[in-house]
Amino acid sequence: MVDYIGVSDILRLVRREGTGHFISRLADEIERDYGRWGDFEKSARLASHSAAGVIELMPTSDGNLYSFKYVNGHPKNTAAGLLTVTAFGVLADVKTGYPMLLSELTVTTALRTAAMSALAARYLARSDSRVMALIGNGAQSEFQAIGFHRMLGIRELRLYDTDPKATEKLQRNLRAMPDLHDLHIVRASSSSDACKGADIVTTVTADKRNAIILTPPMILPGMHLNAVGGDCPGKTELHPDILRMSNISVVVEYEPQSRIEGEIQQMDSQYPVTEFSDLARGVSSGRVNASQVTVFDSVGFALEDYSALRFLHQLLHEERGAARQIDLVPELDDPKDLYGGTLGGRAPARLRKTA
């Protein structure tokens, strides 16, 4: 039997922890795994692109555990009442190849993306950052707001989306959260207006195109840019001249993947970047002075999903008797007799009872 986490299970686990606390704990797990970067197999994700969107597989292993995530990105889905992003994942034992956990990752991906964003900002944003512009107020925005409030101490959010209903939704959800009672919310009239007075600017838009959400005049000395929405070829959010600014530092998750999918796909192959693992391992520093502009060019990397699946499996087993299981793999009295133990009718009693 294989442990299973469905949507109802992830809601129970997160509510038990509290959303902010869950994001913070997950960030710690991600940081620890980036700290042992050399243990992991690394590859750019396998992507199948279409005019409608993208479907991707994201695998990795540290030699003991293996994980992969299936994830899609279809920006036009919302017009049909469907989610833009859905995902599920598997955690497996390398020694046997047996799956240990099958889990939803749609909600979890939003949580881990927020955890990674806030984690990177701990290294890259000024320590006195209290105001964040949040541009793109769709499905990921609440998670980003909660993560930055919890982990960075953000006390003012400046919101903007081209769809006013998205901003209204975000405002409504944020105001209903007791833990965010001290969060001041400002509704901006444009991306430029949202950036006014911001210490951190998070862009998390969904359109699959080379969009220009931020331009150089919006960027002030000392800002940290958390560029989340550009995450596949032909999909960006920053004007390339921002990346050409002097006194700028750009951090990515896994450089070979970010060269294909991130904001730096707009730059030549010699454009200098730092991998986040260098920060986590103390090999490189993040921000070097208060006036530096820093960019986290986030596309999402398989190690973060590995961390999330491992963390979920840990939380699941902290609950006595609450774990659900599914018969994803046959359990046979004779492992050499697959037919006899299944279609041949000689299934073990434990399987016949559930048939």
Given the residues 231, 241, 297, 327, the one annotated as active site: 231
Identify whether 297 is a catalytic site residue.
Answer: no
For residue 202, give both structure tokens. 């998070």
Rounded CA-CA distance 81/86 in Å is: 13
Rounded CA-CA distance 72/87 in Å is: 7
One-letter amino acid identity for 111? L
Please give the full DSSP string across 199-250, using - where no structure is assigned.
SEEEE----SSEEEEE-GGG--TT-EEEE-S--BTTBEEE-HHHHT-TTEEE
Please give the full DSSP string across 290-315, using - where no structure is assigned.
TT-EEEEE----HHHHHHHHHHHHHH
Phi then psi dihedrals of residue 70, to 5 deg? -95, 130
DSSP annotation of 44: P
One-letter amino acid identity for 30? I
Rounded CA-CA distance 14/280 in Å is: 25
Rounded CA-CA distance 40/25 in Å is: 21
3-state DSSP assignment of residue 72: strand
- SS3 for 158-181 is EEECCCHHHHHHHHHHHHCCHHHC
List active site positions: 231
